[in-house]
Structure 1
Amino acid sequence: MQPVRHLVLDELSAGIVDKFDAASAALVNSSGLAKASPMGMGLYRIEPVGMVGSVRTPTVQLDVRPKDRLGLSRLLFLLGYAGKQGFREDTVAAVEDRDLWSALAESLAQLAERALNRGVLQGYLTVDESLRTVKGRIRISDQISRRPGMLVPLEVSYDEFTEDIAENRILRAALERMGQVPRVRPEVLSRLRQLKGKLDAVTRVQSGAPLPPWRASRMNVRYHPVLRLAELILRNASAEAGEGKQQAASFVVDMAKVFEDFVGTALREAMAAHPGEMRLQYNVMLNEAVRDSDRITVRPDAVHLLGGRPVVVYDAKYQASSDQDASLSADHFQMLAYCTALRVPTAWLVYAGPGEMKLRRILNTDIDVVEFPLDLSRPPSEILASIADLAQQSWGEVVRQAGQ
């Protein structure tokens, strides 16, 4: 088997020039991870486009890694926390590996083995059927509309204790997805297939269909870690295999969106300890306008309200202007607009990266913009502690302003 060439880019790099086959270049372009532009003689210019992740084809693997060289565990923590699950660092485990695909496959295999160690989870599934005898309850409205004047068959609903539940459908789908990734290590691929074999009686989730909803409970607690990893894989990774297709896989993430969602979710939880209400993606008018077409709106990432009135505003910047060696002016202009439209004295600009907190007073105003760094290379507990510190300091500023 021909070895896979492994190319690694930093998300903020200018790109590289390297040999690529046309099929792999097309797959990279279609994935949205990077842009592959032909330069002749089999050479392509490969440039990041603001996403991070990995694309693997039979001949090449291209990785675009986050700034500050975040590992897979940190990336999954941010992804999971930013999502609807809101789970903590200890509920998603990841094996760190130089190769993202090997790490994902091994992590999924380990967590699935733990979940299925005591057998396949069973639960109650509501089934709607047409039967000649009563089972469960009769659906009167369906019976009348579908079979007016007929006594049988009966439209009934009943609860069946079965393995064919949402939790197992999600797990089966993730095992199938990772099993289609090209060049997964044979021993890991064998484990994934054995695990999937335990779920063969479970309904297959069709490609492109929404994932079935599930609810965390005491009954499915042993499935929680693997389900959360499975959902992340299914929402961010794709894989293709079959006749006439080049086997390929991609895992693509918009880190700017992930950072924005993570900061908003974590900040809302931290500010819950203080009076008022946190609103995310808060719409506010920037100008006076008679017609709707003349209105200009802005939407800061988070606004904290007290008694229905905005008192502090926050905005998250993953790729700060300073990342591109540019002026910070654009970010501060934006924060000034937020403060003016909301009539709040302080804006908190949350940057991804190390550094010191800085306060900048805007000339000829009473507005302060505070630059607050959030170092994502730190352990998750320390990242959340930094968010808690941000909440405490910003609330302290609200109290100080109220006392003036």
Structure 2
Amino acid sequence: MTYTERLDLTERGGWVPARLTPETGQLLADSGVVEVRPEAFDPTHWQVRALTKVGAVRIAGVEMSIAPKIPIGRLFFLLGYAADPTRGWRVEDEPVDAGAHKGVVPALAHVFERLADRALRQGLLQGYHAVEDALPIVRGRIRTADQMRRRHGIPLPMEVGYDEFSTDIPENQLLLAGADRLLRLPGVPVPVRHRLLRLRTRLAEVSRLVPGRPLPRWQPNRLNVHYQAPCRFAELILNGISVEHRRGDVRIDGFLFDLAKVFEDFVCTALSEALRPYGGRCRTQARHYLDEAGDVLLKPDLVHYADDGTPLAVADAKYKAVRPEGYPEADLYQMLAYCTALGLSVGHLIYAKGNEPQARHMVRGAGTMIIQHALELDEDPSRILRAVERIAGCLGSGNKP
């Protein structure tokens, strides 16, 4: 009997048949990456459906490629804008074509390699970094405490610390770590893999990051302008999106984007930028409480405050499939709680797509209006941003319905 070793799925797509052992089917179900259900007539026949995570993973010997419903290029626009609203993943001369590859992982590797290659065309960035060493001569400053603790009065070698000018700096370390991580992922096209290997060779003098430790910190400045996009992209690859862990007894290896989180980050960043002309300040995931005792915590995605801290507007991003008959009612109850706790008469729900561009609900007996907006992510990025600006105008217009 031949069991399924690879599944090609689409985010929130239809059910796909698979032949799995009961143990493998249960492990897929426990992973939280996909939804599975057994067929009644045969314990080796299963149905598998993707949720909101896209990318490539290997679970219990089954390799799964999950494609987003939106174009790959649009996904990378959302990611890039959330990371840097002023530039995204663009470089000075032209944008990187994320849509040249169909799958998430191939496109991810392609974009990163192109950005890193363009950054390194000007030569490896150099800078000062702190070095601690034991030397036969004094260089920099003597680390007296370490000298006493390690040498017990022996004068040489000397424990010293000094700043060295080299290529072994955080920016290059991030690029090397990003290339290493991508080379371990399944589904990277052979030509892109070869270019990543060449990139890694160019960074041969750079030290590798220690797994489990925080990523090195770097600061954008005029000297590393050409490095900023690939460094942010490397952080995206290394910081919480790559999956290599256990969920209960399930081993998960691969790389996933949670589109619900991607959409939330984009909306909060883009809306905060669009609200700047209206003054005040925006905070994401601000902590508020529904009850006087402070037992019921509320964390709306974005709150727009006046300079004195008074809440002016509240918005929540909702990336989910919309029912044929309308928006989910539970979201309305949640937004009503936000408006009640913040003392606002209007609340805003922002969806990834919808059956109508806008819906308004006046809550009976409360004097609260809840407005539901929809962003069509299949549109050109400029049109998406204009739609966000219109929503910001609704939030910033004195909260008038």
Q: TM-score range by the shorter chain?
A: 0.7 to 0.9
Alignment partners' CA distance in 2, 1:55 and 1:90: 28
- Deviations, residues 224-254 of structure 1 (Å, cap 9, x unaligned): 23223322233323579xxxxxxx9622122
Which residue, out of 101, 113, 134, partners 2:105?
A: 101
Aligned residue pair count: 384
Distance 1:38 1:234, change over 3 A: farther
Alignment partners' CA distance in 2, 1:47 and 1:158: 56
Distance 1:207 1:138, change over 3 A: closer
Identity %: 36
- In structure 1, what is the equivalent of residue 48 of structure 2? 46
- Aligned-partner SS, 2:364: coil
Alignment partners' CA distance in 2, 1:9 and 1:20: 19
Q: 1:294-309, aligned counterparts within 5 Å?
A: 295-306=295-306, 307-309=308-310
- In structure 2, what is the equivalent of residue 166 of structure 1? 170
31-40 vs 212-221, which deviates more?
31-40
Distance 1:30 1:363, change over 3 A: closer
Distance 1:204 1:325, change over 3 A: farther
- Post-superposition shift, 1:146? 6.3
Alignment partners' CA distance in 2, 1:169 and 1:162: 12
- Post-superposition shift, 1:371? 1.2
- In structure 2, what is the equivalent of residue 334 of structure 1? 334
Alignment partners' CA distance in 2, 1:219 and 1:124: 13
- In structure 2, what is the equivalent of residue 117 of structure 1? 121
Distance 1:190 1:51, change over 3 A: closer
- In structure 2, what is the equivalent of residue 349 of structure 1? 349
Amino acid at match of 1:376: L
Alignment of 1:192 with 2:193, yes or no, is no
Alignment of 1:375 with 2:376, yes or no, is yes
- Deviations, residues 48-101 of structure 1 (Å, cap 9, x unaligned): 2442223369997533333xx212222223234334887525257343122333
- Post-superposition shift, 1:347? 0.7
- Deviations, residues 341-394 of structure 1 (Å, cap 9, x unaligned): 211111111111154223322222321111121222223232222222222222
- Aligned-partner SS, 2:222: coil
- In structure 2, what is the equivalent of residue 64 of structure 1? 66
- 1:72–1:94: 8 Å Cα contact kept in structure 2? no
- Post-superposition shift, 1:6? 5.4
What residue ranges of structure 1 are gaps of 5+ in the alignment?
241-247
- In structure 2, what is the equivalent of residue 388 of structure 1? 389
Alignment partners' CA distance in 2, 1:15 and 1:205: 41
- Aligned-partner SS, 2:131: strand
What residue ranges of structure 2 are gaps of 5+ in the alignment?
246-251
Q: 1:3-402, aligned counterparts within 5 Å?
A: 7-11=8-12, 13=13, 15-20=15-20, 32-36=32-36, 40=42, 42-55=44-57, 62-66=64-68, 69-83=69-83, 87-88=87-88, 90-91=90-91, 93-96=96-99, 97-139=101-143, 153-182=157-186, 184-235=188-239, 236-238=241-243, 250-289=254-293, 295-306=295-306, 307-319=308-320, 322-323=322-323, 328-353=328-353, 355-398=356-399
Alignment partners' CA distance in 2, 1:285 and 1:104: 40
TM-score, structure 2 as length reference: 0.81
Alignment partners' CA distance in 2, 1:28 and 1:58: 7
- 1:136–1:156: 8 Å Cα contact kept in structure 2? yes
Distance 1:285 1:351, change over 3 A: same
The CA RMSD over aligned residues, in Å, is: 3.5
Amino acid at match of 2:184: Q
